[in-house]
C-alpha cells in the first residue's frame, strides 16, 4: 500500500509542487520507500510508495506512454496478471514486466470507467484523464484502502488520510459534531462522512469524477443477497474451498516476504493453513511468518489457540506480549492515525503489532478480517436470530435463557433471569418487521453514551434524525432481504469500513508501513456468500457453518470447536496509573479545562465516570466504551483542532 | 419509603447517569427501557443494595418485577428488610 494525494483546480490551476510534497510528507509512514510528485497544470498528484510489487519499476505517479493518463494508486490489483494478458491481447502497450499500476492505467485506457468492476483487489486510485480533463477517484468494494476528499474554493483536494488535506492552506480542520454523535451511536460516521467538518470519505465501491462541468458520483459495485435454495451443503462448501484457496493464492503475490496475523480464531487460521499449503507446493513455505498478540489478562488472551495452530503450521510465531500499560501509553499515537474516535482499546495492540512486523522487515500481512461479515460470524447475527426465536413465544421461560449463550465471555450475563434477558435484548414481537431489527439493541446501548455530551451538543442533536438519514441511504433491495441479510449488509457497509478496516485495519497497520490483505474480502467470496441462504451460513446457532464445513480440516480441533470470541484487548484498566488515577498524559486530556476547551463533553459527567473507574475497574461494557470514546475523542481534538471549541 | 426512593434515585444518578438528572424518570419508569441499566448495571445495583441495606439478593430474585424501577426497588428493599427483622425476632 501507499499514500496518495492531489489537487485539481480548473479555475486557478493546481498549486505548487511544494504543497504536494508537504501532503506526501504528512503520510510518509504509508510509503517510506519512495515519494513522487507530478504537476500537470490543472492537476497535481503525489505518491508515497510502499514498494511491494515490481519494486524496480513501480514509481508513481505513473503515466501512459502518450502522457494522456496519469495515476496515483494505493493498493493492489491482485488479478493484474490476468488483466494484463487480456489487455496485451487487445494490443495495449506495456512498458513494465509485472507492475500492477500500469495495469490500472491500461485498463482505464481500454475499458474506461468500467475498468474497476474488473479489478479484484483493494485500492484507492486517483486517475487523471488529460483528454477529458477528468480526475477520477475510485475506492475498492469494501473500503480496505482509505480515500478522503474536500472542496476548497475552486480546488478539489484528496488524500489517503485526512491529515494530508489539512496541509492545504484553505482546508482548516474542524470537528463535525453531528458526525461525532453519529459515531457515538453507530461506531462509524454515516457513509461518506468523517469526524471532520467538510471532509468526505469516498464510499466503498464508489467512484467520483471531477470535471470542469461538475462532479459525478456513482456506485460501480453493490452487495446484493439473492439466496439460492436449490443447492446442497456440499456444493456450497466445495465451491467455497476452491474459491478461498484462489483468493489466498492471489494475495500471496508480492516481491517481499509475507506475514500473517494469526489471532487464534478460525478465520486467520484457515488463511494461514491455505497460504502454507500453496507456498509449500512451490517449495517456498518459509516465506510466511506468523505474527500474534498476547495479553496479560487471561479472559482476552488467545495464545493457547495461536500456539496450537502455529505448531500445526510448523513454525514459531513472532508474539507481541502486549502489557496493559503499553496500551494506555500508545492510545494517543494510535488515534493520530485512526483519525476518528475509538470505543475499544483493541486498535492499540494492532498498532504495536504492525511496528513489530516492520521491525522484522515485513511489510505485507494476510489477515482473516471480513469473514465474520461475509459468512455471518458475529454474535450480532446470532443475537438477531435468537431474539426472533424468543419473540415468537413471548410467554416462554426457557427460550430467553438461550440468550445467555450468546456472550459466554460476559460473566454478568450468565446470572440474569429470563425476564431480564427478555428486556435487555429488546425481545418484542412488534419489532420483527423493523428494518433495523438486528442493530436496535446495540445502537440503543451506544446511545447511553450521549449522557457524557455537553448540554449544548445534546441540544444540537434534537433536530436530527440519523436513523432516517441512514434509512434513506439504504439500497432499494434492502426491503426484499430477510433479517439476516439486512444485518449482514449493515455490518458490511457500516462497521466494516468505518471501524474494523480503518481503526483496526489499514490505519494502524499503515502507521508503520504495513499492508494488510484481508483474504475474505475477495469480492468473489462475498458474492458467493450472498447467494447462500442464511441457514447455510448459520446452522441453528453454529456461526460460519459453511466455512467450518469447507475448511475445518485445515485447523486444529481446538480452533474449530472453540466458541466464537471477538478480538478484544484489556480496556479501562490500561489507563490506570500506579495510584489508581488515570495515567498521564491521558489524565490531562480529561481535566475539566481540556474538556471545556473543546466543548463536546460535560466535564462533570466525565469526572464522575473517572471517580467510578478509580473506585474499581469498570465492569460494564458501556462504561468502558464511554471511557475509551471520551479519551480518544479528546485525543483527536487535541491532535487536530487544539484550542478550538466545537460549538 | 420516600427516603429510600430518594437514596436509590441518587445512586442511579451518580453511577448510571453520571450526575445527570433522573427527574425525567418517574418512580415507576423502567430503568432498562429508558436505557439506564444494562446487565452489568443490574449487578452494580445489587451490590449497592446489599452493601447499603444489609440485605442479600438471591439469584432467583434478580427479576425486573423487583428491580426495574425506583419504586419496585424501594418496595423490594422494604420487603427484604421486613423479612430480616422477622427472622431476627424469631
**Contacting residues of A for B15, CB less than 8 Å apart:** 612
Q: Which of A184, A219, A254 is the last residue of a domain?
A: A219
Q: Which of A492, A511, A544 is the last residue of a domain?
A: A492
Packed helices A621-640 and A603-615: angle between N→C axes, nearest 10 degrees = 130
Interface residue A614 vs chain B (CB under 8 A): no
Highest mean pLDDT pick, A334-343, A568-577, B74-83: A334-343
Cβ contact, residue pair B43, A410, below 8 Å: no
β-sheet bridge partners, residue A215? A210
Q: Which of A463, A492, A521 is the last residue of a domain?
A: A492
Give the mean pLDDT of A322-343: 97
Question: Nearest Cα to A514, choosing from A381, A376, A318?
Answer: A318
Q: Are residues A557 and A581 in the same domain?
A: no
**Closest CA in chain A for residue B18:** A605
Grid cell digits, residue A224: 446484493
Which of the four pLDDT bands, split at 50, 70 and 90, describes residue A17? confident
Q: Are residues A75 and A159 in the same domain?
A: yes
**Closest CA in chain A for residue B17:** A451
Which has more confidence, A493 or A284?
A: A493
A497 lies in some domain = no
- Look at A190-194, A287-291, A585-589, B37-41 and tell me which has the smallest mean pLDDT: B37-41
A205 class by beta-carbon count within 10 Å (0-12 exposed, 13-18 middle, 19+ buried): buried
Grid cell digits, residue A168: 492545504
Which of the four pLDDT bands, split at 50, 70 and 90, describes residue A243? very high
Q: Are residues A100 and A200 in the same domain?
A: yes
Residue reference for cell 469526524: A195
Tell me the backbone φ, ψ of residue A4, rounded to 5 degrees.
Answer: -120, 155
Interface residue A619 vs chain B (CB under 8 A): yes
Cβ contact, residue pair A412, B40, below 8 Å: yes
Q: Are residues A354 and A318 in the same domain?
A: yes
Cβ contact, residue pair B18, A609, below 8 Å: yes
**Which of B33, B40, B42 is closest, CB to CB, to A621?**
B40
Q: Are residues A456 and A349 in the same domain?
A: no
Query: CA dist A235 to A247, A269, A549, B74, Å?
Result: 18, 23, 11, 60
Q: Are residues A43 and A146 in the same domain?
A: yes
Distance of CA A223 to the CA centre of its chain: 17
Cβ distance A487 to A380 under 8 Å? yes
Q: Are residues A607 and A557 in the same domain?
A: no
β-sheet bridge partners, residue A126? A72, A137
Give the mean pLDDT of A102-107: 97
Torsion sign (Cα): A63, A69, A73, A76: negative
Q: Are residues A422 and A440 in the same domain?
A: yes
Cβ contact, residue pair B68, A423, below 8 Å: yes
Count CB-CB contacts under 10 A for residue A601.
26
A150-174 residue pLDDT tens: 999 999 999 999 999 999 999 999 9
A448 class by beta-carbon count within 10 Å (0-12 exposed, 13-18 middle, 19+ buried): buried
pLDDT at A195: 98
Lay out the sheet containing A214-219: strands in order across. A62-63, A69-77, A121-129, A134-139, A206-211, A214-219
Q: Are residues A364 and A319 in the same domain?
A: yes
**Contacting residues of B for A609, CB less than 8 Å apart:** 18
Grid cell digits, residue A257: 516476504
A367-426 residue pLDDT tens: 999 999 999 999 999 999 988 888 887 777 777 777 777 776 666 677 777 777 777 777
A226 lies in some domain = no
- Look at A125-134, A249-258, A404-413, A532-541 and tell me which has the smallest mean pLDDT: A404-413
3-state secondary structure of A82: helix
B21 class by beta-carbon count within 10 Å (0-12 exposed, 13-18 middle, 19+ buried): exposed
- Chain A: closest CA distance from residue B9 (Å): 16
**Which of B18, B30, B60 is closest, CB to CB, to A452?**
B18
- Chain B: closest CA distance from residue A393 (Å): 19
Cβ contact, residue pair A452, B44, below 8 Å: no
Question: Nearest Cα to A258, choosing from A235, A282, A225, A237?
Answer: A282
pLDDT at A646: 54
Q: Are residues A551 and A581 in the same domain?
A: no
- Look at A240-249, A339-348, A472-481, A614-623 and tell me which has the smallest mean pLDDT: A614-623
Residue reference for cell 454478568: A412
Which of the four pLDDT bands, split at 50, 70 and 90, describes residue A577? confident
Cβ contact, residue pair A420, B63, below 8 Å: yes
Cβ distance A51 to A61 under 8 Å? no
Count CB-CB contacts under 10 A for residue A558.
14
Say how far apart CA B58 and CA B10 lie, in whole Å: 24
A275 lies in some domain = yes
**Contacting residues of B for A444, CB less than 8 Å apart:** 35
Distance of CA A90 to the CA centre of its chain: 37
A301 lies in some domain = yes
A54-79 residue pLDDT tens: 777 778 899 999 999 999 999 999 99
A180 lies in some domain = no
Instruction: Using the predicted structure, report yes or no on whether residue A312 has a pLDDT greater than 70.
Output: yes
A228 lies in some domain = no
Grid cell digits, residue A269: 487460521
pLDDT at A424: 74
CATH architecture entry for B2-89? Orthogonal Bundle (1.10)
Instruction: Please state the three-class secondary structure of A545-585 as a single string.
Output: HHHHHHHHHHCCHHHHHCCCCCCCCCCHHHHECCCCCECCC
Grid cell digits, residue A38: 507530478
Cβ contact, residue pair B20, A419, below 8 Å: no
A566 lies in some domain = no
Tell me the backbone φ, ψ of residue A289, rounded to 5 degrees.
Answer: -110, 150
**Structural domain count of chain A:** 4
Packed helices A100-111 and A80-89: angle between N→C axes, nearest 10 degrees = 50
ipTM, two decimals, is 0.74
pTM for the predicted model, two decimal places: 0.92
Which has more confidence, A20 or B35?
A: A20
Question: Nearest Cα to A289, choosing from A257, A259, A247?
Answer: A259
pLDDT at A39: 93
Give the mean pLDDT of B42-70: 89
pLDDT at A111: 97
β-sheet bridge partners, residue A207? A138, A218
- Chain A: closest CA distance from residue B89 (Å): 32
Q: Are residues A204 and A263 in the same domain?
A: no
Say how far apart CA B66 and CA B45 lie, in whole Å: 12
Q: What is the mean pLDDT of chain A?
A: 93
**Which of A415, A452, A620 is closest, CB to CB, to B59?**
A415
pLDDT at A617: 81
Instruction: Using the predicted structure, report yes or no on whether residue A176 has a pLDDT greater than 60.
Output: yes
**Contacting residues of B for A417, CB less than 8 Å apart:** 59-60, 62-64
Say how far apart CA A73 and CA A544 lie, in whole Å: 34
Instruction: Using the predicted structure, report yes or no on whether residue A279 has a pLDDT greater than 80.
Output: yes
A221: left (phi over 0), alpha (psi -120 to 50) or beta: beta
Say how far apart CA A283 and CA A306 lie, in whole Å: 24
pLDDT at B89: 82
Q: Are residues A85 and A165 in the same domain?
A: yes
**Which of A444, A607, A608 is closest, CB to CB, to B35?**
A444
A181 lies in some domain = no
Range of the domain at A615: 574-640
Amino acid at each position: 500500500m501507499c499514500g496518495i494525494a492531489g489537487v485539481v483546480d480548473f479555475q486557478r490551476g493546481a498549486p505548487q509542487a511544494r504543497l504536494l510534497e508537504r501532503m506526501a510528507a504528512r503520510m510518509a509512514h504509508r510509503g517510506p520507500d519512495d515519494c513522487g510528485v507530478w504537476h500537470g497544470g490543472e492537476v497535481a498528484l503525489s505518491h508515497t510508495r510502499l514498494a511491494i510489487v515490481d519494486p524496480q519499476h513501480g514509481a508513481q505517479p505513473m503515466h501512459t506512454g502518450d502522457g494522456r493518463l496519469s495515476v496515483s494508486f494505493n493498493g493492489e490489483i491482485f488479478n493484474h496478471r490476468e488483466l494484463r494478458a487480456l489487455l496485451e491481447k487487445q494490443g495495449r502497450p506495456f512498458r513494465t514486466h509485472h507492475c500492477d499500476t500500469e495495469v490500472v492505467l491500461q485498463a482505464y485506457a481500454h475499458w474506461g470507467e468500467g475498468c474497476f468492476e474488473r479489478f479484484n483487489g483493494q485500492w484507492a486510485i486517483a486517475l487523471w484523464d488529460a483528454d477529458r480533463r477528468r480526475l477520477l477517484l475510485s475506492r475498492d468494494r469494501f473500503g480496505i484502502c482509505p480515500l478522503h476528499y474536500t472542496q476548497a474554493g475552486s480546488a478539489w483536494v484528496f488524500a489517503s488520510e485526512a491529515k494530508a488535506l489539512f496541509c492545504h492552506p484553505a482546508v482548516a480542520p474542524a470537528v463535525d459534531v453531528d458526525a461525532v454523535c453519529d459515531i457515538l451511536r453507530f461506531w462509524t460516521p454515516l457513509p461518506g462522512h468523517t469526524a471532520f467538518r467538510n471532509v468526505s470519505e469516498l464510499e466503498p465501491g464508489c467512484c467520483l469524477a471531477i470535471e470542469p462541468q461538475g462532479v459525478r458520483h456513482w456506485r460501480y459495485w453493490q452487495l446484493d443477497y439473492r439466496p439460492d435454495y436449490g443447492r446442497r451443503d456440499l456444493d456450497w462448501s466445495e465451491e467455497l474451498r476452491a474459491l478461498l484457496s484462489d483468493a489466498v493464492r492471489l494475495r500471496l503475490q508480492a516481491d517481499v516476504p509475507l506475514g500473517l496475523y494469526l489471532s487464534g480464531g478460525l478465520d486467520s487460521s484457515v488463511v494461514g493453513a491455505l497460504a502454507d499449503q500453496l507456498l509449500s507446493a512451490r517449495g517456498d513455505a518459509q516465506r510466511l511468518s506468523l505474527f500474534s498478540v498476547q495479553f496479560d489478562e487471561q479472559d482476552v488472551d488467545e495464545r493457547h489457540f495461536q500456539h496450537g495452530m502455529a505448531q500445526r503450521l510448523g513454525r514459531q510465531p513472532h508474539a507481541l506480549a502486549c502489557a496493559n500499560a503499553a496500551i494506555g501509553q500508545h492510545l494517543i499515537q494510535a488515534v493520530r492515525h485512526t483519525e476518528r474516535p475509538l470505543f475499544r482499546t483493541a486498535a492499540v495492540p494492532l498498532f504495536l503489532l504492525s511496528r513489530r512486523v516492520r521491525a522484522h522487515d515485513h511489510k505485507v500481512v494476510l489477515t482473516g478480517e471480513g469473514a465474520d461479515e461475509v459468512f455471518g460470524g458475529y454474535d450480532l447475527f446470532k443475537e438477531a436470530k435468537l431474539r426472533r426465536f424468543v419473540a415468537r413465544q413471548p410467554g416462554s421461560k426457557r427460550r430467553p435463557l438461550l440468550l445467555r449463550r450468546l456472550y459466554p465471555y460476559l460473566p454478568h450475563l450468565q446470572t440474569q433471569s429470563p425476564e431480564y434477558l427478555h428486556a435487555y435484548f429488546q425481545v418484542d414481537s412488534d419489532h420483527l418487521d423493523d428494518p433495523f431489527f438486528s442493530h436496535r439493541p446495540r445502537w440503543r446501548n451506544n446511545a447511553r453514551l450521549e449522557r457524557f455530551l455537553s448540554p449544548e451538543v445534546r441540544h444540537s442533536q434534537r433536530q436530527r434524525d440519523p436513523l432516517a438519514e441512514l434509512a434513506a441511504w439504504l439500497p432499494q433491495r434492502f426491503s426484499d432481504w430477510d433479517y439476516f441479510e439486512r444485518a449482514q449488509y449493515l455490518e458490511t457497509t457500516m462497521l466494516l469500513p468505518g471501524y474494523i478496516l480503518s481503526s483496526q485495519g489499514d490505519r494502524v497497520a499503515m502507521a508503520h508501513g504495513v499492508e494488510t490483505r484481508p483474504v475474505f474480502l475477495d469480492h468473489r467470496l462475498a458474492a458467493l456468500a450472498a447467494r447462500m441462504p442464511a441457514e447455510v451460513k448459520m446452522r441453528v446457532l453454529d456461526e460460519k457453518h459453511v466455512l467450518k464445513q469447507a475448511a475445518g480440516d485445515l485447523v486444529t480441533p481446538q480452533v474449530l470447536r472453540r466458541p466464537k470470541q471477538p478480538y478484544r484487548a484489556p480496556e479501562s484498566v490500561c489507563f490506570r496509573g500506579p495510584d489508581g488515577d488515570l495515567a498521564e498524559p491521558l489524565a490531562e486530556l480529561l481535566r475539566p479545562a481540556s474538556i471545556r476547551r473543546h466543548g463536546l463533553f460535560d466535564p462533570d459527567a466525565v469526572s464522575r465516570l473517572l471517580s467510578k473507574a478509580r473506585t474499581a475497574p469498570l465492569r460494564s461494557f458501556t462504561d468502558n466504551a464511554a471511557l475509551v470514546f471520551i479519551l480518544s475523542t479528546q485525543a483527536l481534538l487535541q491532535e487536530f483542532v487544539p484550542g478550538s471549541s466545537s460549538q | 419509603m420516600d427516603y429510600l426512593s430518594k437514596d436509590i434515585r441518587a445512586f442511579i444518578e451518580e453511577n448510571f447517569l453520571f450526575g445527570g438528572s433522573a427527574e425525567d424518570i418517574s418512580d415507576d419508569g423502567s430503568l432498562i427501557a429508558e436505557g439506564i441499566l444494562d446487565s452489568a448495571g443490574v449487578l452494580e445495583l445489587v451490590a449497592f443494595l446489599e452493601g447499603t441495606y444489609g440485605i442479600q439478593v438471591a439469584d432467583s430474585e434478580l427479576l425486573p418485577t423487583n428491580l426495574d424501577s425506583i419504586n419496585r426497588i424501594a418496595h423490594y428493599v422494604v420487603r427484604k428488610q421486613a423479612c430480616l427483622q422477622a427472622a431476627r425476632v424469631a
